Chains A and B, each alone.
Chain A
Amino acid sequence: MRRLLILLAGCGVLDASPLTLDNLPLGEEARPLLLRTYVPDPGLSKEVFAHHHDADSSPKYTPKTGRDIKGRYQPIPGIPAAVAVNHGPALSYAFDTTECRLLYAWQGGFLDMFPYWGDPDRGNRRSFGYVPSLVGTVFHQASGAPPLELDGRPVAELGDPDYLGYDLDEQGVPTFRYRFGEHRFSLRVAPLDDRPFSCRLTFRSESPGRLGYRGQEETVFDRGVLVVNLRGKALSEHSGFPRKMAIDRPTAAAGETLFANYGCIACHSTDGSDGHGPSLAGLFGKERPLTGGTTVKADDAYLRESIKDPNARTAEGFPPNYMPPYPLKDKEVESLVLFIKSLRDR
């Protein structure tokens, strides 16, 4: 947890602690943590992504032959260029630099960075599911066009959003600055009293005119400042990334999941193409040349050893001491062995 340090005694200026290997970083209510990262999409509607572009599925491909193979890569949910901010358990929210609006807000936790930052001992990201996981209860989600209005006109009608940046106050609370067309606005988000599922949005405009907010929220507009008390309700619950995989008995399917979770594919292809480690396609049962001129049969025992103690023997053509040892449970190792066996005919 991020703790506070009194940097300048007597001045009351608070300084944040740095990020650590803790995959559950948290800010404090008075001093938030601001993280730019890939941000999870809790299921926002398509209209919210008006200034994003749509990806498509794409044929799977192997660099071995330079051709497509069976299957398609599917795009996954995630937000590429948002800023996630956490005020401790009181409030988390995501502000998007592309749409220039609050995307969603949640309470009771922040982000589980494990899929992206990986296990501290290995630093391995999950290969196809590395978007951080939400922790807490989502209580507000954006929908439709941005709710902010200037003199009764929705900001989206003023022009395209253009993100400028943010300023931090003495407590590190960001005020986001952006434009719609030529009109400049700012937004500050803060926890709102002790009520659950709420936060306070403070909008300012540099253009003359009255700011308004579409919707049922309680708003106050005074001298160019619009305060919106956003009170939501529990929309979805999230408990981070499930770390533990219960394996009753070893299976190739469990092995495939472990293979993805540990990011093994970063070095070991499953289609026979070269990489930083040997391909696993067709490996099982083969005679494998080793550094030093000997060979070994790639059987269960060799695969087990190669996972638990990868530097005991090095496959020919690959550098020594390159793969870290994976101290997995026996059922996990056996599952990986079964998965590698299943690749024998590829």
Chain B
Amino acid sequence: MKPLLLLALLTPLIAADHRIEDIPLPEGVPPEVGGLDFAPDGSLFVVLRRGDVFKATPTDDPRDFDWQLFATGFHNGCGIDAVSPSKIRVTQMAELTEAEDTDDDGAADRYRRLAHGWGLSGNYHETNTLVPDGRDGYYLSIGTASHNGPTFEHTLGDYSKFGRRGRNFSAVKWRGWVLHYGPDGELTPFASGFRMHNGLHLDPEGRLWSSDNQGDWKATTPLYHIEKGNFYGHPSSLVWDPEWPDDKDPLSTYRDDLDAYNEHRTRPAIQIPHRGVNRSGSEILTIPDGFGRFAGQMILLDNNGTRITRLMVEEVGGAMQGACLHFIDGEGLRSGNNRARFSPDGRQLYIGQTTRGWGKLAEGLQRITAGDPVFEVETISLTPKGFRLELTADLAAGDPSGIGVSSFTYQSRWTYGSPMENKRDHKITVGGSGPTLDLAVEGLEAGRVYEIRLPELASKDRGKLRHRTLYYTANRLRE
């Protein structure tokens, strides 16, 4: 296309930002939000890490919530499904528990262990969460232990000396796994190789996703498309894989043979630069129609930054891959973003935050209301020659020939995170018109992450382009 020969950017119109509000919990209550969920009637349940569960009917004024103590006594409850206004299910350290108010006095009185069978070594790091499978069962994520804490002398469940090795470890059963819990009560191992997959998501098309926490064997923050039987890269969990030999230490095996490791593991659909975009991925959600922006795309919370990441996935060559960029960067968002739910009407995003025990405190509950439409990259997709970007409005000012593209690789290994390696810059040619930018990229190769840096661009009535750096993980190229 002809470069846009506008000498100056148009005066940007300021589109209203997201509105981010604090929602106070009752006075004196530590708002360490392990999980939250809306019941079908719209009431909001919040489970706090010390053990209490509060319930409220949301109001326009965030200070007017009628918080009631609904249940107590959960050990670091980090996943919650509000089945009905009087019944919740909570993953705590040792089990999935159902708590029900059977006498209609507003407080749960019947607590039943619904699922168990994963171990608990006594390490502080072994938290769990859940996502309903849509068929009256759940997928459960069973987090690993950290070498910054011990195990107990007596563990819940089998103990593995090889599983105990390493930085984050899996000394007891199913740590580092996704399990499936069926309504018949059966617990089935589903996928392995996770470190701290603190958030599972089943998208409207029935695909299961998680992120993980950058660290050992996690080069950077990943987005995984989880399929049954796959191994996602953290070796310690393999000690519980019936097909893994009992006398083989997975940690040293793969430390000494990264080729075999790479052969075995399923790579992330998207690799998310951990400093630039998301330091610690937690909850993933699909944006609903009501929110006003990017419906159908996914967001990923950052538990360790004042950020939320937007994810754009597509299927290429039979596997999922795609791009990430900021959805919210600052704007008054707290850090510690741990769990989130869209309100039943889809218009607001409720976010529960906690970091207690890990860095600076960032505890609380916030909600986000989308503002006016803004000028953003709406979608990016891989083409045979490069990338096609669709913007949310016609490009009206700025010179897209200033777009920069570079690429790099990551190799997960035993180190706590891995650097960007094999960096290179790519020459590009820019085409397209209106809201479309077509990038032809020289030297496009599979297996690399592409950093696309957009210059200052502006639209006619949606202001300047908001978030200008995105990263596309090209696991495969288009034919």
Give the B-binding residues of A (Cβ under 8 A): 7-8, 13, 15-21, 33-38, 41, 49, 52-56, 58-59, 61, 63-67, 73-81, 83, 97-98, 116-118, 120-125, 127-128, 130-131, 163-169, 263, 265-267, 269, 273-276, 319, 321-324
The answer to whether B124 and A20 touch across the interface, beta carbons within 8 angstroms, is no
A263→B124 CA distance, assembly (Å): 12
The answer to whether B150 and A167 touch across the interface, beta carbons within 8 angstroms, is no
Set of chain A residues within 8 Å of B359, measured between Cβ atoms: 266-267, 276, 322-324
24 A-B residue pairings within 8 Å (CB atoms): A15-B107, A18-B52, A19-B52, A36-B74, A53-B155, A53-B159, A58-B165, A65-B414, A73-B151, A75-B152, A77-B152, A81-B156, A125-B124, A127-B149, A165-B98, A166-B111, A167-B109, A167-B110, A266-B148, A266-B357, A269-B416, A322-B359, A322-B360, A324-B359
Contact pick for B73, options A35, A164, A169, A275, CB 8 Å: A35
Contact pick for A61, options B97, B147, B279, CB 8 Å: B147
The answer to whether B113 and A97 touch across the interface, beta carbons within 8 angstroms, is yes
Set of chain B residues within 8 Å of A74, measured between Cβ atoms: 150
The answer to whether B28 and A21 touch across the interface, beta carbons within 8 angstroms, is yes
A117→B49 CA distance, assembly (Å): 10
Set of chain B residues within 8 Å of A321, measured between Cβ atoms: 360
The answer to whether A20 and B358 touch across the interface, beta carbons within 8 angstroms, is no
State which residues 144-200 of B face A: CB under 8 Å.
Answer: 147-159, 161, 164-167, 171-172
Set of chain B residues within 8 Å of A165, measured between Cβ atoms: 97-98, 110-113
A7→B107 CA distance, assembly (Å): 11
Contact pick for A168, options B28, B30, B94, B109, CB 8 Å: B109
Set of chain B residues within 8 Å of A18, measured between Cβ atoms: 26, 28-29, 52, 54, 69, 72
The answer to whether B122 and A117 touch across the interface, beta carbons within 8 angstroms, is no
The answer to whether B112 and A164 touch across the interface, beta carbons within 8 angstroms, is yes
Q: Does B319 contact A (CB under 8 A)?
A: no
Assess A118 versus B356: contact at CB under 8 Å? Given A66-B413, A274-B417.
Answer: yes
A22→B377 CA distance, assembly (Å): 47
The answer to whether B51 and A35 touch across the interface, beta carbons within 8 angstroms, is yes
Q: State how many angstroms separate the Cβ of A266 from the closest Cβ of chain B.
A: 6
The answer to whether B120 and A76 touch across the interface, beta carbons within 8 angstroms, is no
Set of chain B residues within 8 Å of A49, measured between Cβ atoms: 154
Set of chain A residues within 8 Å of B72, measured between Cβ atoms: 16, 18-19, 33-34
Give the A-binding residues of B (Cβ under 8 A): 26, 28-30, 32, 48, 50-52, 54, 69, 72-75, 92-95, 97-98, 105-113, 116, 119-122, 124, 147-159, 161, 164-167, 171-172, 216, 251-252, 255, 275, 279, 304-305, 355-361, 363, 413-417
Assess A55 versus B151: contact at CB under 8 Å? Given A63-B416, A122-B361, A166-B111.
Answer: yes
Q: State how many angstroms separate the Cβ of A110 from the closest Cβ of chain B.
A: 14
The answer to whether A80 and B152 touch across the interface, beta carbons within 8 angstroms, is yes
Assess A167 versus B161: contact at CB under 8 Å? Given A16-B69, A125-B357.
Answer: no
Q: State how many angstroms separate the Cβ of B147 from the closest Cβ of chain A.
A: 7
Q: State how many angstroms separate the Cβ of A42 from the closest Cβ of chain B.
A: 13
Set of chain A residues within 8 Å of B75, measured between Cβ atoms: 36-38
The answer to whether A55 and B154 touch across the interface, beta carbons within 8 angstroms, is yes
Main secondary structure of the interface of B (DSSP, over half): loop
Set of chain A residues within 8 Å of B157, measured between Cβ atoms: 53
* 6 nearest A-B pairs in the assembled complex, by CB-CB distance: A66-B414, A123-B356, A165-B112, A36-B75, A52-B154, A81-B94
The answer to whether B122 and A78 touch across the interface, beta carbons within 8 angstroms, is yes
Set of chain B residues within 8 Å of A33, measured between Cβ atoms: 72
Assess A163 versus B69: contact at CB under 8 Å? Given A52-B156, A122-B361, A125-B357.
Answer: no
A201→B28 CA distance, assembly (Å): 35
B49: nearest chain-A partner, CB-CB: A117
Q: State how many angstroms separate the Cβ of A23 from the closest Cβ of chain B.
A: 10
The answer to whether B29 and A56 touch across the interface, beta carbons within 8 angstroms, is no
Q: State how many angstroms separate the Cβ of A38 from the closest Cβ of chain B.
A: 6
The answer to whether B51 and A53 touch across the interface, beta carbons within 8 angstroms, is no
The answer to whether B120 and A80 touch across the interface, beta carbons within 8 angstroms, is yes
The answer to whether A64 and B97 touch across the interface, beta carbons within 8 angstroms, is no
B107: nearest chain-A partner, CB-CB: A15
Set of chain A residues within 8 Å of B164, measured between Cβ atoms: 55-56, 58
> Knowing that A54-B159, A123-B32 are A-B contacts, what are 6 other residue pairs whose CB atoms are under 8 Å apart, sorted by A's residue number?
A7-B106, A33-B72, A55-B152, A64-B415, A164-B113, A276-B358
Contact pick for B121, options A63, A80, A98, CB 8 Å: A80
Set of chain A residues within 8 Å of B161, measured between Cβ atoms: 56, 58
Set of chain A residues within 8 Å of B147, measured between Cβ atoms: 61, 73
B50: nearest chain-A partner, CB-CB: A19
A20→B69 CA distance, assembly (Å): 13
A266→B355 CA distance, assembly (Å): 12
A11: nearest chain-B partner, CB-CB: B105
A63: nearest chain-B partner, CB-CB: B167
Contact pick for A75, options B48, B111, B153, CB 8 Å: B153
Name, among B29, B153, B159, B172, the residue most crowded by chain A CB atoms within 10 Å (CB to CB).
B153
Q: State how many angstroms separate the Cβ of A117 from the closest Cβ of chain B.
A: 7
Set of chain B residues within 8 Å of A123, measured between Cβ atoms: 32, 355-357, 361, 363
